[in-house]
């Protein structure tokens, strides 16, 4: 089985004449089709809203596409709040979900009118001291602990996660926040990452809905929304079945009607904070093979490296690779596909069966639209690549230029040596 790129070899060769490899490229048509499908899947809920996880793909040009469909921004840092404000996503278009949060970030989120999602019980007093009061609308992040399982499969281990409050803390937090003036409450939880199953969201929803009913009954608070956060994954491997967002939406609707509606909570809004699902499949890293090495193994050296895509080096994550122009050739050569960092884990693929790769071939690394460029760094003095948008009409727009040495040395601008380095 294989994956099909959203761009052709001929297109990429023309693009590379203007924007040298490596670069990340995104598919506008795919992004738009996907966000429309998401909104349709949850259209049964009157208050439904998607808060795109800015950390996944922090590019204002891409987020503005989602804004056209009513999406807000899920922010977790000062600079993400800045980006949200710059594109006009303020007020309740912001969900601020952070942890170990500096006071100035709470102050900024409050200034913008965003919904603050508290990660820890101790943050109640910390927030109140930082901004001087407790907002009327507030959310708390929940972590039930233990393992999160679907059937006999362990999806993730919330008990080991640093995020969220225990059940007891959550109930105490709602009581205290209510006493301090909060009027509208939200519940948020993220119990598993990158799930490729239609069952995850409905099971998570049931956990949160049942907790919400108990909270409203025992504390007397008004539950305004329940945020199912992220966790809906994508099929990185070609043999994986993609999630069916309509089936997921329908599964959540059934649980909503089974649990919330009989409890008189049929007005609760459903929020999501999807990043990987929204952008992952609609981005690719394009790199060129520039070296072949024949030693104890067969290596292909690329002009991209872990600076451009960190997930394989960091997690051992699989990203499918298409050798452009050789889509139908037999995969009869075994390669390690590497970058040029002074780190042995700087590999996009290990022992991967691919068509014969020649120097100069373009490699299309799939599913980098989320947590791809965003996780980049500058080790070895490597520079981050450009980001491009393949428009619906087939044209290409640069939506972030490639870094230059002047960018790398910019923080020396206040020193004499900076004048020599920044030219």
Judge contact between 421 and 409, C-beta under 8 A. yes
Max CA separation in the chain (angstroms) = 70
Active site residues: 342
109-166 tens-digit pLDDT: 999 999 999 999 999 999 999 999 999 999 999 998 766 655 545 445 666 778 899 9
Q: Which residues of the chain have pLDDT under 50?
A: 152, 154-155
Nearest C-alpha neighbor of 201 from the set 247, 242, 152, 135: 247
pLDDT given for residue 155 in this prediction: 47
Handedness of CA 120, 126, 130, 132 (dihedral sign): positive
Beta strands 362-365 and 321-323 are antiparallel
pLDDT given for residue 160 in this prediction: 72
56-79 burial, b if ≥16 CB within 10 A, otherwise e? bbbbeebbebbbeeebbbbbbbee
d(CA 313, CA 276): 18
330-359 tens-digit pLDDT: 999 999 999 999 999 999 999 999 999 999
d(CA 383, CA 309): 12
Nearest C-alpha neighbor of 194 from the set 280, 255, 133: 280
Nearest C-alpha neighbor of 23 from the set 401, 380, 319, 278: 401
pLDDT given for residue 157 in this prediction: 64
Judge contact between 186 and 115, C-beta under 8 A. yes
pLDDT given for residue 159 in this prediction: 62
pLDDT given for residue 274 in this prediction: 97
Q: How many helices (H) and strands (E) does the chain have?
A: 13, 19
Nearest C-alpha neighbor of 232 from the set 243, 240, 221: 243
Beta strands 283-294 and 362-365 are antiparallel
Judge contact between 158 and 146, C-beta under 8 A. yes
Contacts of 5 by beta carbon, 8 Å cutoff, 6+ apart? 284, 322, 324, 364, 366
pLDDT given for residue 153 in this prediction: 52
Domains of the chain: 28-279 (3.20.20.10), 281-412 (2.40.37.10)
- Give the residue carrying structure tokens 């508290």: 118
Helix 78-86 to helix 60-67 angle, to the nearest 10 degrees? 60
């Amino acid at each position: 089985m294989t994956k099909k790129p959203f761009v052709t070899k001929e297109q990429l060769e023309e693009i590379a004449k203007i924007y040298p490899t490596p670069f990340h490229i995104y598919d506008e048509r795919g992004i738009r089709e996907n966000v429309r499908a998401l909104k349709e899947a949850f259209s049964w809920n009157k208050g439904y809203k998607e808060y795109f996880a800015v950390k996944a793909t922090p590019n204002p040009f891409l987020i503005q596409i989602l804004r056209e469909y009513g999406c807000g921004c899920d922010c977790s840092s000062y600079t993400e709040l800045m980006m949200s404000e710059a594109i006009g996503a303020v007020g309740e278009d912001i969900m601020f979900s952070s942890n170990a949060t500096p006071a100035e970030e709470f102050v900024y989120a409050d200034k913008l009118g965003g919904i603050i999602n508290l990660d820890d019980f101790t943050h109640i007093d910390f927030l109140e001291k930082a901004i001087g009061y407790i907002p009327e609308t507030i959310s708390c992040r929940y972590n039930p602990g233990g393992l999160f399982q679907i059937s006999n499969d362990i999806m993730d281990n919330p008990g080991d996660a640093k995020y969220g409050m225990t059940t007891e803390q959550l109930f105490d937090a709602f009581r205290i926040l209510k006493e301090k003036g909060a009027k509208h409450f939200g519940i948020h939880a993220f119990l598993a990452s990158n799930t490729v199953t239609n069952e995850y969201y409905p099971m998570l929803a049931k956990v949160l809905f049942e907790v919400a009913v108990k909270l409203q009954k025992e504390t007397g608070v008004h539950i305004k929304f329940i945020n199912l956060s992220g966790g809906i994954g994508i099929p990185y491997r070609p043999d994986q079945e993609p999630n069916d967002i309509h089936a997921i939406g329908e599964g959540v609707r059934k649980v909503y009607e089974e649990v919330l509606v009989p409890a008189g909570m049929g007005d609760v809004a459903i929020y999501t904070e999807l990043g990987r699902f929204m952008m992952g499949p609609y981005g690719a890293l394009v790199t060129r093979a520039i070296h072949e090495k024949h030693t104890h193994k067969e290596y292909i050296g690329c002009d991209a490296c872990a600076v451009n895509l960190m997930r394989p080096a960091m997690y051992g994550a699989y990203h499918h690779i298409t050798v452009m122009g050789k889509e139908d050739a037999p995969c009869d050569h075994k390669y390690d596909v590497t970058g040029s960092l002074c780190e042995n884990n700087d590999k996009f693929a290990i022992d991967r069966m691919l068509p014969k790769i020649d120097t100069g071939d373009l490699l299309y690394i799939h599913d980098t639209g989320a947590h791809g460029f965003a996780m980049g760094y500058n080790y070895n003095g490597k520079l981050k690549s450009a980001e491009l948008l393949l428009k619906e009409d087939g044209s290409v727009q640069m939506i972030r230029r490639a870094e230059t040495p002047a960018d790398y040395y910019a923080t020396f601008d206040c020193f004499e040596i900076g004048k020599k380095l920044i030219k």
